[in-house]
C-alpha cells in the first residue's frame, strides 16, 4: 500500500547517551503531535536526524532498529556536517535572511556545499524507502533543495513541502548568492505551503523574477508540471492545550507559583533565544512602561522564559548578554524587596509549568521582529479556560493575520507597545471574554489536525490535476510511429503556428524571420504533392507574405482574418468589422504612454499592446488593468481580449485560429494524415477544431488539450526534418 514519508531536519525524538546507555525521549512539539496521526500509521515513516553524533557502526544499527519500531528512520550526521549545514548555512545564512536580518547573514561557499551534501544524504535515505505512489512531505528551511533532488530520482513521486519560517520579499531573497538553486530546489515539490499569503506572494514574485516562471492562481508551470503554491496557516493541538490547562498537575503548579510571585498582575513572555523574537525591544518597552506609569510599579511583573537555543552561534551569545543586561538594568532600577519587575528564566519548562504560566498571565506579550507563525500566541489563547486575559501581538508574526482580536503592535514602536500594554492591563472583563472567545473558536476549528488534513488534500488535488493535464512527451519511438503513418498516408495536412513553434519568440524584426534551414525544410515538405502545409499565425499578412510567401504553402494571418492558398492571394473569410479600432486605439495608446518599454502593433483587424520589455511587475500590473478595462467594452463591441505571451490583443469575436483551420479540414476532408503544432494558448482553438484522427502537438510546458508535447521549436524543426527525410528519424543533438 502507498505510504507517507515525513522528512524534517530533526526526528520527533531526542536520543541521549546517559551512563553509556541510549535514552529515547519523544518530542511533544506541535508538529510532532500533528503529524503523529500520519507517521505512526502502518508503513509510514519519519526521516530525520536523531540529534546525536554516532560513529560506532553497531550503535547506529541499534538506533536504526529501535527507531524502526516507532516508524522512524535516522539520517546520521557528523559534527562537521551539523556545524556547516545546520549551524552554518541553515542558521547563519538562511535563517537571518528569511527573517529580514540579512546584515547578520554570512555567505560562504563551503557552507553551501555542506548544505547540498546533507540534502543529498537525506535524499538517499528517502530513495531507500520510497516506492511508486508514496507521498513525501518535506519540512522547513534546512531542506529547501531536497524536493528537486528527490524529483530527479523519483520523477513521478508526490512531494509536498512546508516552510515554517517567513519567505522574505524578493528584494531580500535576491541577496543570496544561491537564490536560483534554492528556488529551483523548492520547485521540485508539487505543493509548496507557507504560513501566510504574504509569504506565498513573496515566493511567487521571486519565482517570476529570478527563474522566469509564470504563475496563475498560485500555480506555477515548471517544465511539464503544475506546482501549487498556497497558504496553510499552521494550527495547534487545541484540545491538548485546553485540557492541560485543566489538569490537576497544572493547577497544583499554579498555586505554588502564585504563592511565590504574590498577587501582582503578570505579563508573560516565552520564546526560544532568537534575535527574530524581539526580546530586547520587549524589555525596553516594559522598562518604558514602568518609567512612564509609576502607578503600575509593584503591581505588575514580567515573567520572561527564554529557552536556550543555538548558543554556539556568536549572534545568539551576544543576544543572551544583551537580555541579561537589560533585565539586570530594569530590576536594579525599579525592583523592591517585595517586588521583582522581571522574573527571568533562561531554561525550558515541562508542559504543565508552561500551561500554568499561560493560565496565570493577565497579558501575553508576543512581539517578534519576524515570525513565520508563532505558536506561543495561539497556545496562550487555547489555555484560557475562563477567557480572561489579553494578547499583545506583533504584526510581524504570521499569527497576526488570524488573531485579529489581539492588540496588534509594531515591535519597533516602543511607545505603541507601552500603550498596548496599558490597554491590555486595563481591558474590561467582558471585552477580554469577547476577544478570547472569538479567537478560541477560530483556533479550535483551524487546529493542527485540520492543517495536516487540508495540506494532504491539496497535495492530492494538484497531483490529480497534473495527471489530467499530462500530455505525453514525444520521444523517438512515437516520432517513428507518426513518421510511419505519414509515409503510408495518401493525403496530408500539416498545420503549424509560427512564433514559438517554428521559430523562437522575438521582438527584434531582424531576427524574427525564418532562417535558411527552416525555409529549406518547409520547401522539401511542400514539394511533396501529397502534402498541404498551413502556417496559422497571429502575424499580419504582409510580414507572413515577406517571410513565407514565396513558398508553395498556405498562410493564415492575424489569427484567421486573412487566408491565402499557395497559388492564390490573401483574402478575408467574410466582411469583418474593424471600425472599432478608432475607439480602442486611443485607449491602448494611453497605456503605451504610461508604460515605458511597451508599444502598440496595429494589424488590419486587431490591435496588440506588447509589454515584453517593460519592467517586470509593472507590465503585469498594466496588463491586468487593461484587460479589466477592456472587459466592460469588449462584449458590447463584439470584440475579444486575449492576454498572450507578454501581449494583450484586441480583435473581433468572429476570428479565431480554429475557425480558419476548419476551412482546410472541410476542403481536404480526404486527408488521412493531419498533424498540428502550436505553443500559444490561441493554438488551443486549432487543436479543438481537429478531427479525432489528427495528431495534436503542444510546444512547451504550458497545460494543453493536445495529445503530445514537444519541448521547443527546435524539436518541431527536427521532427519536420524527419518527415521531410521520408520519415527517417534524424539523429542529432
Ligand atoms: C518555528 C517558527 C512557527 C517554548 N518554550 C517551551 C516550550 N516552548 C514551545 C512552545 C511552542 C514552541 O516551543 C515554539 O514555537 P513558535 O512557533 O513560537 O516558534 P519557533 O520555535 O521559532 O518555531 C515559527 C513554528 O516554527 C511552527 O511552524 O510558528 O514562526 O519560527 O509550541 O510551546 N515548550 C516546553 N517548554 C518550554 O519551556 N515544553
CB of 385 within 8 A of CB of 220? no
Our answer on whether the CB atom of 165 is closer than 6 Å to any ligand 1 atom is yes
**pLDDT for position 29:** 67
The answer to whether the CB of 379 is under 6 A from ligand 1 is yes
pLDDT category at 337 given cuts 50, 70, 90 is very high
Q: Please give the distance, rounded to the nearest whole angstrom, from the Cα atom of residue 247 to the centre of ligand 1.
A: 21
User: Is 383 strand, coil or helix?
Assistant: coil
CA dist 503 and 556 (Å) reads: 16
Selecting among 497, 554, 679, 683, the annotated active-site residue is 497
The H-or-E segment that residue 49 falls in is strand 45-49
Mean pLDDT of 305-329: 91
Report d(CA 76, CA 54) in Å as an integer: 7
8-state DSSP, 398:
G
389-399: average pLDDT: 97
Please state the three-class secondary structure of 483-526 as a single string.
Answer: HHHHHHCCCEEEEECCECCCECCCCCHHHHCCCHHHHHHHHHHH
Q: Is the CB of 373 under 6 A from ligand 1?
A: yes
Q: Comparing C-alpha atoms, which of 340, 380, 374 is closest to residue 360? A: 380
- Region 365-373 average pLDDT: 97
pLDDT at 382 over 60: yes
Q: Is 192 helix (H, G, I), strand (E, B) or coil?
A: strand
d(CA 362, ligand 1 centre) in Å: 20
Residues whose CB is less than 8 angstroms from the CB of residue 341 and which lie 6 or more positions away in sequence, other chains included:
286, 290, 297, 301, 302, 330, 331, 334, 335
Q: Kindly report, residue by residue over 240-273, the tens digit of the pLDDT.
A: 999 999 999 999 999 999 998 888 999 999 999 9
Q: What is the pLDDT of residue 599?
A: 94
For 579-621, write each residue's pLDDT tens digit.
899 999 999 999 998 898 999 999 888 899 999 888 888 898 8
In the predicted structure, residue 509 carries a pLDDT above the cut 70 = no
CB 309 within 8 A of CB 316: yes
Is the pLDDT confidence value at 715 over 90? yes
Share of the chain above pLDDT 90, in %: 75
- Distance, in Å, from the CA atom of 497 to the CA atom of 551, rounded to the nearest integer, reads 16
Residue 351 Cβ contacting ligand 1 at under 6 Å: yes
pLDDT on residue 733: 47
Q: Residue range 156-172: average pLDDT? A: 96
Is any atom of ligand 1 closer than 6 Å to the C-beta of 251?
A: no
**pLDDT for residue 732:** 56
* Mutate-to-test residue for ligand 1 from 9, 194, 272, highest number of ligand atoms within 8 A of CB: 272
Burial class (CB in 10 A: 0-12, 13-18, 19+), 227: buried
CA 131 to chain CA centroid, nearest Å: 25
pLDDT at 507: 66
DSSP H stretches of helix in 133-278: 146-153, 170-173, 179-186, 197-210, 238-244, 248-261
Whether pLDDT at 128 is above 50? yes
Q: What is the pLDDT of residue 407?
A: 98
Contact predicate 501/516, CB 8 Å: no
Q: Reply yes or no on whether the pLDDT at 551 is more than 80.
A: yes
Taking the C-alpha atoms of residue 104 and residue 97, their distance in angstroms, rounded to an integer, is 8
Question: Taking all residues of the chain, what is their mean pLDDT, rounded to a whole number?
Answer: 92
Our mutation pick for probing the ligand 1 site, out of 376, 383, 403, 447, counting the most ligand atoms within 8 A of Cβ, is: 376
Q: Which atom of ligand 1 is nearest to the CA of 372?
A: 30
Ligand 1 centroid to Cα of residue 94, in Å, is: 19
**What spacing in Å lies between the alpha carbon of 33 and ligand 1's midpoint?**
13
- Asked if the model's pLDDT at residue 30 lies above 70, the reply is no
The answer to whether residues 31 and 8 touch, using CB atoms and an 8 Å cutoff, is yes
**What strands, in cross-sheet order, belong to the sheet with 531-536?**
472-473, 708-710, 695-699, 673-678, 492-496, 531-536, 554-557, 562-564, 571-572
CB 609 within 8 A of CB 598: yes
Q: Which atom of ligand 1 is nearest to the CA of 399?
A: 29
653-698 pLDDT tens trace: 878 899 899 999 999 999 999 999 999 888 999 999 999 999 999 9
What's the average model confidence in pLDDT over 721-725?
91
Looking from the CA of residue 347, the nearest atom of ligand 1 is: 38
476 labelled catalytic: no
Q: What separation in Å is there between the alpha carbon of 435 and the centre of ligand 1?
A: 23
Amino acid at each position: 500500500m502507498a505510504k507517507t514519508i515525513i522528512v524534517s531536519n530533526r526526528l520527533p525524538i531526542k536520543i541521549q547517551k546517559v551512563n553509556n546507555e541510549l535514552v529515547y525521549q519523544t518530542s511533544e512539539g506541535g508538529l510532532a503531535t500533528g503529524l503523529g496521526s500520519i507517521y505512526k500509521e502502518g508503513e509510514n515513516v519519519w526521516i530525520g536526524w536523531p540529534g546525536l553524533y554516532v560513529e560506532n557502526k553497531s550503535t547506529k544499527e541499534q538506533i536504526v532498529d529501535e527507531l524502526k519500531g516507532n516508524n522512524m528512520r535516522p539520517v546520521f550526521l557528523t559534527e562537521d556536517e551539523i556545524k556547516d549545514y545546520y549551524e552554518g548555512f541553515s542558521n547563519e545564512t538562511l535563517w537571518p535572511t528569511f527573517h529580514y536580518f540579512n546584515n547578520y547573514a554570512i555567505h560562504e561557499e563551503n557552507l553551501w556545499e555542506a548544505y547540498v551534501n546533507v540534502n543529498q544524504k537525506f535524499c538517499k535515505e528517502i530513495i531507500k524507502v520510497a516506492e511508486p505512489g508514496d507521498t513525501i512531505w518535506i519540512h522547513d528551511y534546512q531542506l529547501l533543495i531536497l524536493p528537486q533532488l528527490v524529483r530527479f530520482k523519483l520523477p513521478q513521486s508526490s512531494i509536498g513541502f512546508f516552510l515554517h519560517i517567513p519567505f522574505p520579499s524578493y528584494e531580500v531573497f535576491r541577496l543570496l548568492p544561491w537564490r536560483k538553486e534554492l528556488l529551483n530546489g523548492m520547485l521540485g515539490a508539487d505543493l509548496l505551503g507557507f504560513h501566510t499569503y504574504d509569504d506565498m506572494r513573496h515566493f511567487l514574485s521571486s519565482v517570476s523574477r529570478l527563474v522566469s516562471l509564470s504563475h496563475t492562481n498560485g500555480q506555477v508551470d515548471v517544465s511539464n508540471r503544475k506546482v501549487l503554491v498556497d497558504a496553510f496557516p499552521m494550527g495547534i493541538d487545541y484540545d491538548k492545550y485546553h485540557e492541560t490547562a485543566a489538569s490537576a498537575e497544572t493547577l497544583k503548579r499554579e498555586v505554588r507559583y502564585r504563592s511565590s510571585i504574590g498577587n501582582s498582575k503578570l505579563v508573560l513572555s516565552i520564546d526560544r533565544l532568537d534575535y527574530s523574537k524581539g526580546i530586547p525591544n520587549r524589555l525596553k518597552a516594559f522598562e518604558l512602561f514602568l518609567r512612564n506609569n509609576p502607578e503600575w510599579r509593584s503591581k505588575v511583573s514580567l515573567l520572561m522564559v527564554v529557552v536556550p537555543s543555538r548558543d554556539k552561534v556568536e549572534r545568539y551569545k551576544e543576544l543572551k548578554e544583551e537580555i541579561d543586561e537589560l533585565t539586570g538594568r530594569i530590576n536594579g532600577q525599579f525592583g523592591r524587596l517585595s517586588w521583582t519587575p522581571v522574573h527571568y528564566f533562561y531554561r525550558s519548562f515541562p508542559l504543565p509549568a508552561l500551561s500554568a504560566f499561560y493560565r496565570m498571565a493577565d497579558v501575553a506579550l508576543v512581539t517578534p521582529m519576524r515570525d513565520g507563525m508563532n505558536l506561543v500566541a495561539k497556545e496562550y489563547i487555547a489555555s484560557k479556560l475562563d477567557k480572561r486575559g489579553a494578547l499583545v501581538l506583533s504584526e510581524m508574526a504570521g499569527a497576526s493575520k488570524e488573531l485579529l482580536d489581539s492588540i496588534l503592535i509594531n515591535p519597533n514602536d516602543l511607545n505603541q507597545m507601552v500603550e498596548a500594554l496599558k490597554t491590555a492591563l486595563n481591558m474590561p472583563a467582558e471585552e477580554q471574554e469577547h476577544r478570547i472567545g472569538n479567537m478560541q473558536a477560530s483556533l479550535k476549528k483551524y487546529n493542527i489536525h485540520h492543517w495536516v488534513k487540508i495540506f494532504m488534500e491539496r497535495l492530492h488535488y494538484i497531483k490529480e490535476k497534473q495527471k489530467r493535464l499530462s500530455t505525453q512527451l514525444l520521444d523517438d519511438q512515437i516520432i517513428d510511429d507518426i513518421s510511419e503513418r505519414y509515409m503510408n498516408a495518401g493525403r496530408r495536412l500539416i498545420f503549424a503556428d509560427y512564433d514559438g513553434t517554428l521559430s523562437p519568440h522575438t521582438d527584434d524584426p531582424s531576427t524574427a524571420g525564418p532562417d535558411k534551414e527552416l525555409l529549406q525544410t518547409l520547401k522539401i515538405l511542400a514539394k511533396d504533392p501529397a502534402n498541404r502545409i498551413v502556417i496559422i499565425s497571429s502575424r499580419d499578412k504582409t510580414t507572413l507574405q515577406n517571410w513565407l510567401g514565396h513558398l508553395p504553402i498556405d498562410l493564415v494571418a492575424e489569427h484567421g482574418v486573412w487566408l491565402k492558398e499557395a497559388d492564390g492571394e490573401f483574402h478575408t473569410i467574410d466582411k469583418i468589422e474593424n471600425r472599432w479600432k478608432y475607439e480602442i486605439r486611443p485607449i491602448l495608446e494611453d497605456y503605451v504612454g504610461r508604460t515605458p518599454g511597451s508599444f502598440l502593433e496595429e494589424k488590419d483587424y486587431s490591435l496588440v499592446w506588447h509589454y515584453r520589455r517593460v519592467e517586470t511587475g509593472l507590465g503585469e500590473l498594466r496588463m491586468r488593468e487593461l484587460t479589466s478595462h477592456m472587459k466592460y467594452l469588449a462584449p458590447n463591441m463584439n470584440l475579444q481580449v486575449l492576454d498572450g505571451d507578454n501581449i494583450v490583443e484586441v480583435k473581433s469575436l468572429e476570428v479565431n485560429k480554429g475557425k480558419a483551420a476548419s476551412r482546410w479540414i472541410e476542403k481536404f476532408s480526404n486527408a488521412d494524415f493531419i498533424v498540428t503544432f502550436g505553443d500559444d494558448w490561441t493554438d488551443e482553438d486549432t487543436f479543438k477544431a481537429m478531427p479525432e484522427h489528427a495528431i495534436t502537438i503542444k510546444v512547451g510546458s504550458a497545460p494543453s488539450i493536445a495529445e503530445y508535447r514537444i519541448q521547443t521549436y527546435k524539436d518541431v524543426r527536427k521532427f519536420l526534418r524527419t518527415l521531410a527525410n521520408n520519415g527517417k528519424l534524424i539523429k542529432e543533438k
